[in-house]
């Protein structure tokens, strides 16, 4: 099982052939889910006492399991937030898997963490964060937001002489569900700031705070702004929210899981003014920075101060607390895949300029799609896109029409698009992160929306 023998060699060829076949697919198949019963019948029992053999397990994966999984890098996958990993990043992911490096500590993974840190420094520099900033790659935006808020609360607890009755986070009404989830995990309260235009602003934050009683106000430890909301792609007014957080004397966190990638695009950089004042931020390379699942870049303005909130203490770990930087010390994780390495390898291979161009390509497609929708009498734009999410309605359609239509598109293998809702109204939402998606793809999809 562990010795590299002739059978392993045969299996290696088969696995690499299949992996390369997938990488070469242009486009990959869209595929789609099947019922548990159908999968059980088609795949049969795969885990047995004797093992079914690698070649047979691979055959079952290729023929039965893979066709029941949707390829998020299909150019007409526009639901949720798609993925579009570069070839270099996908290929290097194989190397990460083959290398068995644990990314927890400098002792175990200095070389790899050095490379990850270079990628983090690029993102910090684009955001305008000062020297001393840094962090780690974590599993996803959800764990990134949670880790940042834990560090924020720790800072507040250290700085204040009395603990409040309840700790409180302020976030805009359009903030991602992971903020509520983080607050639930931490047993803190979230006060939602109403955003009339759906864009959080500093004055809106200050207005809410002015109406709180003193005890509640004393519990505020962080303000969260979103740089690219998930549903509508809106970038909050980061500069005024930063000022509000500063006046309150609390931590300013920016959730840029989806949108902060557009920091790299000259045409949208101005939307992020104020991000340089954040105490922490996240951006997911697995969303719009063309890396494979799963990777979130978690950045702190002052990396070393975040260490206190997350370092795990145990006698078997004493040997690694020697002053060197350990990624395990700045987030909720210990054992860690080097999930930033595929992103680093692709940046090194392609250059940052190629990233700027690819992000601009998707932004341009979003603008062209919005123009196309505005010119089509059947369709109505819900709002002009800030970034690459385009939301619109098909006049005369109700929820069921959108659902039936999107189900049919997936069944035909044509596209994966899903309705969303705005103020209770069902609408259509396209999210573009794949530079291989073209206006022809968009027109093909829109063309199926009936006369
Ligand atoms: C703005 C925002 N924050 C957080 C998340 C959560 O990220 P993840 O799914 O990687 O946990 C998402 C996911 O779409 C998001 O759009």
- Residue 432 alpha carbon to ligand 1 centre in Å: 15
pLDDT digits (tens, 9 = 90+) for 234-283: 999 999 999 999 999 999 999 999 999 999 999 999 999 999 999 999 99
pLDDT digits (tens, 9 = 90+) for 57-88: 999 999 999 999 999 999 999 999 999 999 99
- pTM (2 d.p.): 0.98
Task: Classify residue 64 by its DSSP letter.
Answer: I
- How does residue 104 score in pLDDT terms, banded at 50, 70 and 90? very high
- Residue 26 alpha carbon to ligand 1 centre in Å: 27
- Residue 189 alpha carbon to ligand 1 centre in Å: 20
Ligand 1 atom nearest residue 284's Cα:
10
The mean pLDDT value for 303-325 works out to 93
Quick one: CA dihedral 107, 110, 112, 118, positive or negative?
positive
C-alpha closest to that of 417 among 26, 5, 11, 32: 32
CA distance 171 to 87: 37
Query: What does the domain layout of the chain look like in residue ranges?
Result: 1-30+33-69, 93-350, 360-446
Ligand 1 binding pocket includes 139 (Cβ within 6 Å): no
Write the residue with the smallest CA distance to atom 5 of ligand 1.
Answer: 141
Packing angle of the helix pair 87-99, 6-24 (nearest 10 deg):
160
Q: What is the pLDDT of residue 451?
A: 79
Quick one: CA dihedral 208, 422, 384, 441, positive or negative?
positive
CA distance 426 to 395: 11
CATH class for the region spanning 360-446: alpha beta
Contact status, residue 328 vs residue 122, Cβ threshold 8 Å: no
Ligand 1 binding pocket includes 282 (Cβ within 6 Å): no
* CATH fold for the domain made of 93-350: 3.40.640
Alpha helices in 211-329 (DSSP H): 214-218, 238-248, 285-288, 303-310
Ligand 1 binding pocket includes 291 (Cβ within 6 Å): no
- Residue 81 alpha carbon to ligand 1 centre in Å: 9
The mean pLDDT value for 397-419 works out to 97
The mean pLDDT value for 390-405 works out to 98
Task: Classify residue 227 by its DSSP letter.
Answer: B
Ligand 1 binding pocket includes 289 (Cβ within 6 Å): no
Count of CB atoms situated within 10 Å of the CB of 77: 25
Write the residue with the smallest CA distance to atom 7 of ligand 1.
Answer: 141
pLDDT digits (tens, 9 = 90+) for 162-215: 999 999 999 999 999 999 999 999 999 999 999 989 999 999 999 999 999 999
Pocket test for ligand 1, best of 172, 178, 253 (most atoms within 8 A of CB): 178
């Amino acid at each position: 099982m562990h010795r590299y023998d002739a059978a392993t060699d045969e299996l290696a060829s088969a696995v690499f052939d299949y992996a390369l076949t997938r990488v070469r697919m242009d486009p990959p198949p869209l595929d789609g889910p099947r019922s548990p019963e159908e999968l059980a019948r088609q795949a049969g029992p795969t885990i047995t006492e004797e093992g079914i053999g690698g070649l047979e397990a691979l055959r079952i994966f290729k023929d039965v399991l893979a066709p029941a999984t949707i390829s998020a890098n299909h150019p007409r996958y526009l639901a949720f937030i798609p993925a579009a990993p570069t070839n270099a990043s996908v290929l290097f992911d194989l190397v990460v898997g083959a290398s068995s490096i644990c990314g927890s500590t400098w002792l175990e993974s200095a070389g790899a963490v050095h490379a990850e840190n270079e990628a983090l420094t690029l993102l910090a520099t684009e955001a305008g964060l000062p020297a001393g900033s840094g962090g780690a790659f974590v599993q996803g935006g959800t764990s990134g937001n949670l880790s940042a808020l834990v560090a924020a609360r720790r800072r507040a607890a250290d700085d204040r002489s009395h603990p409040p009755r309840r700790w409180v986070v302020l976030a805009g009404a359009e903030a991602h569900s992971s903020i509520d989830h983080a607050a639930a995990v931490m047993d803190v309260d979230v006060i939602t700031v109403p955003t009339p235009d759906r864009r959080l602003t500093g004055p809106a934050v200050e207005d809410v705070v002015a109406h709180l009683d003193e005890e509640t106000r004393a519990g505020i430890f962080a303000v969260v702004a979103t740089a690219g909301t998930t549903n509508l792609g809106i970038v909050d007014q980061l500069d005024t929210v930063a000022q509000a957080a500063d006046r309150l004397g609390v931590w300013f966190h920016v959730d840029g899981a989806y949108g902060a990638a557009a920091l790299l695009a000259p045409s949208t950089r101005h939307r992020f003014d104020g991000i340089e004042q954040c105490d922490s931020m996240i951006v997911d390379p697995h969303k719009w920075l063309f890396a494979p699942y799963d990777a979130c870049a978690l950045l702190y303005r002052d990396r070393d101060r975040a260490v206190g909130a997350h370092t795990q203490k145990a006698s078997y770990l004493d040997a690694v607390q020697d002053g060197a930087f350990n990624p395990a010390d700045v987030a909720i994780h210990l054992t860690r895949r080097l999930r930033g390495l595929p992103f680093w390898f692709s940046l090194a291979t392609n250059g940052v300029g190629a990233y700027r161009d690819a992000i601009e390509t998707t932004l341009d497609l979003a603008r062209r799609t919005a123009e196309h929708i505005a010119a089509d009498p059947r369709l109505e734009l819900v709002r002009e896109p800030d970034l690459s999410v385009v939301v619109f309605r098909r006049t005369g359609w109700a929820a069921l029409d959108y659902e039936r239509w999107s189900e049919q598109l997936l069944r035909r293998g044509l596209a994966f698009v899903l309705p969303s809702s705005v103020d209770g109204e069902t609408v259509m939402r396209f999210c573009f992160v794949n530079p291989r998606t073209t206006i022809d793809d968009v027109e093909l999809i829109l063309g199926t929306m009936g006369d």
